Chains A and B, each alone.
Chain A
Amino acid sequence: MRNPLLADADGRARPIQAAVWYLVVIVLVVLFFWASLAMVGVALDFSFVARFQVRILDGLLLTLAISAGSLVLSLVIGLPVAVGQGSRVLPVRYLCDLYVKLVRGTPLLAQIYLFFYVVGTAWGVENRLVAGIVILSVFSGAYIAEIVRGSLSSLDAGQLEAARAVGFTRAQTMRYVVVPQLVSRTLPALTGQFASIVKDSSLLSVIAVVELTQTMREISATTFNLFGTYLFLAGLYLCLTLPIMFVSRAFERRLTYAH
């Protein structure tokens, strides 16, 4: 008889086992939160959802639009930067390096204010939505560059020599050796980064981009229903990020090769 608490020797859980224990964990977490709410003496009230449904939906759609736009633009920024960090042209290499260090080493909030009110004003960026997407992409691009650079540098030089030894052209080496490994190593992390973009877009509320978080902040300010609004907000973000994390896991499983 196998111990129902433990996964198999190879680390897998049987489907029923997984379902049961996941459910138990969820119930425990919900109970803990429920008990905390009861101890604080807060009665949750979600009546605002019906009253403000149009604004909430608008905010949700804007968050989705910002996230999608930033995903594309941050890839456009991040991929060349990752390559540029290994460039033999030193100004390019150092520019890419400085960009990654500056962005990763400073808070997004500071970047938003400085970009919007200094750079944005100086160069006449009037549209808040555009400014927001650009700022978020510049921020996320640095993380994507790091993810890609990490997997590029993890490629074993011996593989490239081996590819040359069997007579692969440069294109064939890319197609059959480099790209498959790069995809398998970066795709799960990139998908995870997309989940971060969705969450980080909430900070654009400080420059009056009325996305989901700002919408909820405004509703909370008029209804004083801090717990209801933010719990609902957290739930909405989870609805967006959980599927993304699920996809990220699936990629991880599908694309894991035995090295």
Chain B
Amino acid sequence: MMSEDLIGRTVSRRGLLAATFAASGMLATLAGCSSGDSTDAATASDGSSKGTLKVAMELAYPPFETRDEQGEPTGISVTFMRDFGEAYGYDIQIENTAWDGLIPSLQTGAADCVISSMTITDEREEQVDFTDPYAVAQLAILANASSGVASIDDLNQEGKTVAVKTGSTGDVYATEHLTSATVMRLTDESACVTEVTQGRADGFLYDQLTIYRNQAANPDTTTAVYIPFQDPEYWGIAVANGNDALREELNAFIAEGKENGEFDRLTDQYLSEEHTAFEELGFRWFFDFDDSQEQANA
């Protein structure tokens, strides 16, 4: 009787505690979460778990950020962050966030870091802090097969239309360099590809992997065009301005990963076919860091 009562009370108190936590969690999410939260999590303890690390990414770029058949987040970035969490004692919580909301999610504290195949740019660096590069990507053109586009210069002509995804580095590149062509900005990558396959646009400017894959899916209507002499795009993990503790841990993990074969394992797990194809095409591989090491040291 007595013990039952005790148990019941303990359970109900625990339930109440859980409910309070859930409610405060919801409130924090509703309010966009205060910036103090992330520091609390980092300084909670130096033991086995330092708390939950909220990682924002847009689950729309396989195989880096995507979902499996059950809808669970998966991909290179997800595995990479889970490995990081294991090594540095964080519980990793993936927050699927639309691209436009990624940087704001850091500014409001709704996320602790962003890993979403995001290129390190000066404009973005004004808003957030980036880690050292963990991957490198370059742009390519998916050209309409009958458009006669065989180089980037063919595309930069009056009367040519270039499809880009709004806000992507392809958008930035096209806005800066393809001043003679008409730049058409779309929300969806698949819409950009459709524009090209239907001949409404002459070319789609995006990263080499997406271009390689879409060309393989539309071999009759499209060609893949390599762009020489471009500045490589370095992908970094973004953290809120001034969150140096987390940034340095991530930097250390990236540096270890380059030494201990973490990136080779990720390649074998997710991209072995593409790795071979890229080598045949002479494209630079995502985790080929020779340049980035030099840049990081410079």
Contacts and interface: CB of A to CB of B under 8 A. Distances in A.
Interface in A27-84: 36, 39-42
A41 B171 contact: no
A12 B200 CA distance: 57
Nearest to B163: A208
Contacts of A205: 187
A39 B37 CA distance: 12
Given A39-B32, A208-B184, A221 B101 contact: no
B107 A42 contact: yes
A208 B195 CA distance: 10
Interface in B144-201: 163, 166-167, 171, 184-188, 191, 194, 198, 200
A35 to B, nearest CB: 9
A195 B198 CA distance: 34
Interface in A196-238: 205-208, 210, 214, 217-218, 220-222, 224, 226-227
Interface string B194-238: 100010100000000000000000000000000000000000000
Contacts of B124: 224
A168 interface: no
A113 B108 CA distance: 33
Given A113-B191, A221-B167, A39 B107 contact: no
Contacts of B198: 117, 121
A224 B127 contact: yes
What bracket does the count of chain A residues touching chain B fall in?
A: 20 to 34
Contacts of A39: 31-32, 34
B104 A208 contact: no
A42 B123 CA distance: 18
Interface string B23-55: 000000001111100000000000000000000
B123 A41 contact: no
Contacts of A218: 166-167, 185
Contacts, number: 67
A206 B123 contact: no
B169 to A, nearest CB: 11
Contacts of A206: 186-188, 191
B109 interface: yes
Contacts of A222: 123, 167
Interface in B95-109: 100-101, 103-104, 107-109
Interface in A167-184: none
What bracket does the count of chain B residues touching chain A fall in?
A: 20 to 34
Contacts of A207: 186, 191
Given A113-B191, A206-B188, A207-B191, A40 B32 contact: yes
A90 to B, nearest CB: 37
Contacts of A41: 34-35, 107-109
A224 B103 contact: yes
Contacts of B101: 226
A210 B163 CA distance: 13
Interface in B224-267: none
Nearest to B187: A206
A115 B35 CA distance: 44
Contacts of A226: 100-101, 103-104
A101 B182 CA distance: 39
Contacts of B31: 36, 39-40
B108 A40 contact: yes
Contacts of B104: 224, 226-227
A224 B166 CA distance: 12
Nearest to B33: A40
A214 B166 CA distance: 9
Interface in B76-129: 100-101, 103-104, 107-109, 123-124, 126-127
A43 to B, nearest CB: 10
Contacts of B33: 40
Contacts of B100: 217, 220-221, 226
Contacts of A227: 104
A223 to B, nearest CB: 8
A221 B126 CA distance: 14
A226 B34 CA distance: 18
Query: What are the 6 tightest A-B residue pairs by CB atom distance, in nearest-first order?
Result: A221-B167, A40-B32, A226-B104, A40-B108, A208-B184, A39-B31
Interface of B: 31-35, 100-101, 103-104, 107-109, 123-124, 126-127, 163, 166-167, 171, 184-188, 191, 194, 198, 200
Given A40-B32, A224-B126, 6 more contacts: A113-B191, A205-B187, A206-B191, A214-B166, A226-B100, A226-B104
9 contacts: A36-B32, A39-B34, A40-B33, A42-B32, A126-B200, A208-B184, A217-B100, A221-B100, A224-B124
Interface of A: 36, 39-42, 113, 117, 121, 126, 205-208, 210, 214, 217-218, 220-222, 224, 226-227
